[in-house]
Each structure stands twice: as C-alpha cells, then as structure tokens.
Structure 1
C-alpha cells in the first residue's frame, strides 16, 4: 500500500508538470514580460486558478483548521470576507493598475510618488516574503507531508530535521518551475492543481462527517449541528482575544487587512498584471471571490469536525487537519491527495518566489542595468542588440535570485516550529508591520492628486513605531483592532502632509496603452451576487442560524 501511495503521488505530480510544460511550450520566457507577466496572455479562469492556489495552501489548511478546532466558525472571516476586497479590486484598483501597464505595485507607487518610495516598498515586500511568508509555506507544507508519509519516523530523525528535508525537496521543485517557466507555467499548474484541491479538499469534511456519524453522513451532520452548536457560530464578542475574530473587526481591521492582501500584495496582484485585458482580469478576481466563499467548508468546518472527534486531546491545534486526513481518507487515495497538497504548496511557494524575484529584478536590479544598457547603446551601434541583451540579463538575474531565495527560505522554515502564536496568527501578525501603510499609500495614490512623495514615508515610519509599541503596551488588544485604528491614522497623516505641503503639480495618470481597458459587462451583477451570498453565509453561521 505504501508503494501504491508513492506511485500515485509521483504520477499526479509529474503529470501536472508535463501538462503545464506542454501547454506553455513555445512560449517566450526570455523577455521580462514573458517571464514575469506570462506575456500578458492570461484569461479569467487561469487568473482565478493561479490566484486561488497562490493564496490557498497548507498554511490555510493547517492554520484555519487549527483555529476553528480551538474556537468556532469565526476563522471563516479570513475566507468569506475576502470577496468584498476582491470586488473592490475589480472595480477600483485593477483599472488603475492596468492603465499604468505596471509589473509591480511599487511601479505604481513610483509613478504616483517617486523612486525612493518604490524602493522602500519593494524592500518591505521582499523582506516580508523572505522572513515570514516563504518559510511559513514551506513549514506548513512540510508539517502536513511529514504527518501523511511519516518521514520523521521512517528516517529516525526529529521533526525539525524532517521539516528541513521536506522543505528542501519542495524548494528544489519550486526552483525548477520558476526558473524555467516563470509565471505562465506556474499559472497552468495552479489551475490543474486547483481543480484537484477543490475536489480533494471537499472530500475531507464529507468523509469526516461520515466518521462523526459512525458511517452515516446524515448522522454526522446531526451531531455537528446539535452537539456543541456554539462551535458553528462565526460571530464572536467584541472583546474576544486571538485566535478568536471579534465581530467589529469584520468592518475595520480585517477589511483593511484583506484590502492589502488582495489589492496590493505583489504575490496576488501580479497574476492580474498578466491578464490579456481588463475584462479577463475582472473575471479572474470576481471568480476568486466566489471560490473564497467555498473555502469555509473545507478549511474551517474540518476543524469543528476534528473537535467533535478528538476533543482536546491533540497536543498542537496545527495537527488537527493532518490527523483528520489520516483518519478519514481511504489509504488508496492518500497518494493523490498528498500530490494535490504538494501542488498547493508549490503554487504558493512558486507564486511568492516569482513575485519576490520580480520585485528585486525589476524594482532594484533593473535601475542598475539601465545605466549599463545606456553605455551599451552608446558603444555598440546596434540599439536592438543592446536592449535584447539587457532584457535577457534581467531574466537571468531573476532566475539566480529565485534560486538563492529558495535556499534561504528552506533554511528558515524549520524554525517556525517554535512560533508561539500558532501558524496562521504568526503569519498575519507579521504582515501587520507593513501592510496598512502600503495600502494607505496606494489608496491615497488613487484618490488624491496633491499628496506629495514624502507623505507615504512619514506614514510608514509612524506606523512601524506605533504597531511595535502596541505589541509592548497593548498585547492584550486584538491586532486587527490595532490595524483598524492605524489605517485611518496613516490616511490622515498623508492627507495632512498633502494639505501643508502639496505637490507642485497635480498628479495625472497616463494611459500606457498596454491592454484593452473595456470592463467585463457582467462584472457588477455577479459581484453583487457574491456579496449577498457572503451575507447569507454569515446569517447561517450565527446565533440566528446554526450557531444558536
């Protein structure tokens, strides 16, 4: 049986790689647009698939399941409320981004403010991905695969060593994807893995309910609803502490956190920059919003099921998901499910690798290369050859940086084993050091013409100081409340600076003419439907519904 599990795992993993290569063969990966932006050729379905898989990985499967195992349905807020941010992305942010023809969020900030703002934000993104996100993806994926395959027991090593070994394997495969295929090949792989993860992910709660009902799916549902029904409540008191999600933050701190993640986070929005036009980009993000509404059913409910099955016997809440999978999934399907999880891990890892490489190469390394290119133009006598050489060198540097970054992430990953706040909480609180000032800079950049370049820098420094002080003096206050206060403070600081020292000339955005900006004609009604569906979901999982 173990051999069969390994064979099915390898067959699915290699099959996805082959199909992705076959679909993208002949693509130009040597130009910077071809490598970093998929040649601006992505459609709505592919964008939705790659965004969803970049977002959805084992840090959600483990983290959100662990949170719901400890608490209730409250963690569904991280999934369900994302559709609001994605709707705003479709109608407010995307038209501005695509009009500028940018490759990175810092590109937009440079256009609106100045190059130093771009460089600062690029460095913040890069450090955030290196120190928190990339290692967390590797750690969470390694934790699941170690549980499924028993690597530590088979090799007779510690969990720390097993996580290091598995992270290394994931990292090697990730390097192969991102260095040879860039964004386009990973987007195709994400779409295939996304279908597998959706099917496999929904199987776990179904099989879990059957186990909960001693072989009867309906009895399992009855137990879920009637025994400890408060676990199905997603509306928590205003004074709730983490990992609970207090209800007021749904309209403040969590909303701002989601806006940063879905509308300004390079790893996510880079997929939309690869769209062939605005309509396809809007389709992609609105479809993603629908998929996020499905998320609670295979990310949060499994934690409630695990609580019913195991009580408080698990030593670590982050073990709830892998324990449930091992107990309820038929062994012949274990290899396929592990391969789907491996694909989800790769997707998030590859997406962040590609985005970090894009930020470094285009925002930091490229200015250095521009000076070199100018010298080549002056001495070669052949403008086209010189420019091609510069483009090729940018891609080569991106590949080298990707390799080094992957190795560094592998080295950091095992140490997250000692993170005190739980996996998902650790990741979100780390983002809090820089997320809302970046969001504030983009929002002000879109809606104000007079705020000068110094304003986002002042807001960023004040935010880091205030957020750090909150950790020292307000440790008992939920960090989302802190973000809910700091975001308007950032906005007010920037507006005040704009009032006392406005730009000499009003900012006017130019149309780069890169893609067609005609909106998707069905965007508004479908977006409205998704918001209504989210409200209904909250009504169901509330004291007025199943959480009574």
Structure 2
C-alpha cells in the first residue's frame, strides 16, 4: 500500500460521511420526476456554482489533465480558462432562453426551436458524451487511483482487482444519487468542491516546498521544445497552441458548458434567473482557480520525477500526493480526489437518467404520471451505471485519459455547437437545415474519430497535413462544413410556417425572467470581477513572465 492506516481511515470516513449526507438529504423523498431531476427548482447560486464546478472538475482533470500537464506543461490547464469563459456565455446568452422555454432537459431546446427528430439526435449525442466521457471515464480514473494506492496494480490478479475497484466506486456514488436525485447530488457536490479545492491547494504548496521554492519550479522547460512549462501561450502549430485552443477547444467548451445536460440541468434547478446566472459565474471563478490546483501540480510532478518513465502519465497527480504530502493531509487530499471522481459519476447518472426519462420514455408512455417517471428514471439509472462499469476498464487501451476524452468530445461537438448557436442568433435557420447539419456533424465526427484513432487507418492519417492530425484542428474544419450546411440549406431551402413560428420562441419577452435592480448590479459587478480575474491569470502565465 502507498498509504498508511491513518490516511486510509480518513478516506473511509469521508466515503461514509458523503454517502450518509446524500442519504440524509434524500430522507424527504421526491414526489415526481421533475422534482427528482431538477431539485424542485429551488437551488441557490453558491450550490449551483459549486455543483457545476464539481461536475466538471473530476477525473478528467485530476487524473487526465494533470497527466497531460505532466508532459506538456500548464497549457493543459488552458481548458480551465476556456471553460470559465464558456460559463460566462452560459450566464449571458443561454440561461434566460432555457428558463424561458421551461426546459426539463437541454436537448428539449432543439425540439422547441427545430423539431422532435433534432431533439432525438442531440439527446443521443449528449448521452454518448456523458456515458463515455463522464461516467465511464470517472470510474476508470477512480479504479486507477484506488488500485495504485492499495498496491493492487502490482498483484497477480491485478485485472480482477481493477474491476472490483470500478464496481466499488460505482456503487458508492450510485447509492445517494438513486435515492435523492439532483438535490442530493448538488449538496454533496458542494461539500466535495470544498474538499477537492483544499486538497489541490495543499498539494501545490507541499510540492513547491519539496522542489525548493518558487524559483526552482519556474525554471522547468518542456522536454521536446525547450519552452517554459508555465506558459499558457504556445505557438500556433503546437498541439495545444493558441490556434487550436481558440478554435477546437472553444467549440468543445461552448458545447460542453452551454448545451450538455449535466451542466444545464444544474442551471435549470435554480429558484430564479438571478441564482442561475450567479451560479454560472461562481463556477467560472472556481474553474480559473483550478488552473493552479490541478494543472500546476502536474507540472510540479514533471520536475520532481525528472525521469518520467518511473511514473505513468495518468498517475502523476496521485504519485505527487503520495510523495510530498504529510500523513493525515494525504488522506484528506486523496479524499478530495475521490470526491471529484464520485461527483462526476453522480452528476452523469442524474443527467443521463433525466435525458432518457424525459426525452425518450416520456414520449413512448405519453400519459405517464410524475411518480411513474420517477420510478422508471431510477431503473434507467441502475442500468446505465452497470453499463458504464462494464465500459470503464477498456479505456486503458488509450495512451492517456485526456487523449481519450478529447477524442470523444472533439468529434461529437461540432454539429450541436453549430445548430444551437444558429438556433439562438440566426432567425432564418430552418428545421431541415438543422437536421442535416446534425447528421453531417455526426457522420464526419465518427469518420474523423476513426481516422485519428484506428491503427488500420494509420497510413491515411499520416498522409494528412500535420496540422489536421491534431483533433483540436480537425474539429473546427467539421464546424466550418456544418456552418456551410446550415446556411446553405436555410437560404436555398423553403421556409415553412413552422420554421417562422419556432424562430419566435427563443425571443423571450423583455419583462420575463429579469432580475431586480439590486440583483442586476450584483451580477454585473461579479461579471466584471471575473473577467478581470481571468485576464490577470492569463497575463501572469504568459510569455510576459515566462
């Protein structure tokens, strides 16, 4: 084992406490599906923001993104800055329309703006992204952490023990989610956000001490290019240079933070528009701080373990923890890491359950009562959990968790990204154009995924210009094709009466869903403060200083 009895006891105590909290919150049983999946529309902004952040900051970051920073530097945390900006977009452009349309799920927007068949496609895309990119990835990362800490990965039956770890984490997170629904998830996420941020801050502090102070760690250079590992700005032709980050990463950010059900679901749980908007901005603040608490420890680990072959990329964060953290605090930090992983599982389960319940089951059984929706939603969640447990171990076939996640996200996002933006801001967008844009996006996305990831197509991939062998550069090309499809069919095709009526739906009357004068001032101050904070962090980690 990599940890002692005291640290193990702290982790166990945390698990028991968080499951107990979830069960205690769920003591008042939800009366129907909407209350279960939208927390009765009663959440306030600190809880919404913390849950948005905890949903996003999970295994993808603590395991995958820290692992990426271990090899390429702080630029891996550039995705956090992009995410913070996209949470601002969610608050400024999306939330009011979503709440005005009284959505139960984010894909419902596509039915009200376009048609039922568009909603079905987007629901399917959302499900694939959450199942493959959130729940399964979180279970994979959690099992990786547990087996490494307990020394199971060095035993003869390591593969069997890995499967055991997957099921242990899935059952732990699924228990309170199935009982309490979104309300239990959000309150547990609030606690987990505090633990994981504290853990990340402590790890950075002790990691810097281990290396000999600030001056020592800022001297680190990337092995292949010789550039500082602390700069957020890289050349345009770098795998994570300024061009792919402003194009491909931005497409992923808007799709993920502004249209994905697991994020939108939290905004829709707000008591009013003020709490929804402020929650999104608060999540943006936490995302910006995450640059320091997630990506930065990965860079510190790269310098501490100069011979990178002795540490697996996805184990960089955990290896740093077990090497620099004192007894007791190590258990707390590991509890924070496992908190992030459980948060991704519980959020993904709740989001997928609501998608399948409202977007599919409710359409098949049109006269279903709220209690029937609740019952069937829970059954669906159990099935989903088992499926994700079976998928998770196969992610080990990819060279790194974040490479796997980017491969999933990059090629599912373009079609949805284009149709949602045109649906909001282009009144001439038609249902037929949206449908074919989604179809083209799915087909090209699947083809691009196969091209860049299947060994059988390696020769074709090598024949591509080097620029387009990067998934973050190929994704914007698909976006451009989708834009041409949307604009071309909308302009050349016939516009129906239904297209005209549906375009009016996204125009919410001026007097509806507005904040009071005092609330509006607080929101504007918070927004300006967040923009200044983001700009300051980007300037600090730029070639000006590095």
TM-score, reference length from structure 2: 0.89
Q: Distance in 1 between matches of 2:234 and 2:197?
A: 28
- For residues 415-450 of structure 1, give each alpha carbon's deviation from its aligned partner in whole angstroms, at most 9, with x where no partner exists: 111113x21121122112221211211111112333
Q: Which runs of 5+ in 1 are unaligned?
A: 214-219, 374-388
Residue 416 of structure 1 corresponds to 395
Q: How does 1:68-467 map to 2 (within 5 A)?
A: 68-153=69-154, 156-158=156-158, 160-213=159-212, 220-228=213-221, 230-241=228-239, 245-311=240-306, 312-370=308-366, 373=367, 390-420=369-399, 422-467=400-445
SS in 2 for 1:231: coil
1:483 aligns with 2:475: yes
Q: CA deviation at 1:227?
A: 4.7
Residue 384 of structure 1 corresponds to none
- For residues 238-258 of structure 1, give each alpha carbon's deviation from its aligned partner in whole angstroms, at most 9, with x where no partner exists: 1113xxx11123332221211
Q: Distance in 2 between matches of 1:356 and 1:368?
A: 17
Q: Distance in 2 between matches of 1:45 and 1:455?
A: 39
Q: CA deviation at 1:150?
A: 2.2
CA RMSD of aligned residues (A): 2.2
- For residues 11-56 of structure 1, give each alpha carbon's deviation from its aligned partner in whole angstroms, at most 9, with x where no partner exists: 2222233334444543x51311111100001110000111111111
- For residues 222-268 of structure 1, give each alpha carbon's deviation from its aligned partner in whole angstroms, at most 9, with x where no partner exists: 10123547121221111113xxx111233322212111111001111
Q: Work out whether residues 257 and 263 of structure 2, in 8 Å CA contact, stay in contact via their aligned partners in 1.
A: yes
Residue 63 of structure 2 corresponds to 62
- For residues 172-214 of structure 1, give each alpha carbon's deviation from its aligned partner in whole angstroms, at most 9, with x where no partner exists: 122212211110001000001111111111111111111111x
Q: Work out whether residues 434 and 460 of structure 1, in 8 Å CA contact, stay in contact via their aligned partners in 2.
A: no
Greater shift, 463-472 or 442-451, is seen at 463-472
Q: CA deviation at 1:456?
A: 2.0
Distance change >3 Å, CA 19–CA 133, structure 1 → 2:
closer
Q: Distance in 2 between matches of 1:238 and 1:488?
A: 19
Q: Distance in 1 between matches of 2:220 and 2:121?
A: 52
Q: Distance in 2 between matches of 1:287 and 1:131?
A: 27
Q: Work out whether residues 32 and 391 of structure 1, in 8 Å CA contact, stay in contact via their aligned partners in 2.
A: yes
SS in 1 for 2:530: helix
Q: Work out whether residues 451 and 503 of structure 1, in 8 Å CA contact, stay in contact via their aligned partners in 2.
A: no
TM-score, reference length from structure 1: 0.89
Aligned residues: 515
Q: CA deviation at 1:533?
A: 2.1
Distance change >3 Å, CA 87–CA 55, structure 1 → 2:
same
Greater shift, 245-254 or 174-183, is seen at 245-254
Q: Distance in 2 between matches of 1:77 and 1:503?
A: 43
Residue 457 of structure 2 corresponds to none
Greater shift, 315-324 or 483-492, is seen at 483-492
Distance change >3 Å, CA 175–CA 22, structure 1 → 2:
closer
Q: CA deviation at 1:542?
A: 1.9
Q: Work out whether residues 52 and 283 of structure 2, in 8 Å CA contact, stay in contact via their aligned partners in 1.
A: yes
- For residues 31-88 of structure 1, give each alpha carbon's deviation from its aligned partner in whole angstroms, at most 9, with x where no partner exists: 1111110000111000011111111112211111111111122112101122211111
Q: Work out whether residues 432 and 483 of structure 1, in 8 Å CA contact, stay in contact via their aligned partners in 2.
A: yes
Runs of 4+ in 1 over 6 A off after TM superposition: 510-513
SS in 1 for 2:542: coil
Q: CA deviation at 1:475?
A: 7.7
Q: Work out whether residues 463 and 490 of structure 1, in 8 Å CA contact, stay in contact via their aligned partners in 2.
A: yes
Q: Which runs of 5+ in 2 are unaligned?
A: 222-226, 453-459
Q: CA deviation at 1:464?
A: 3.2
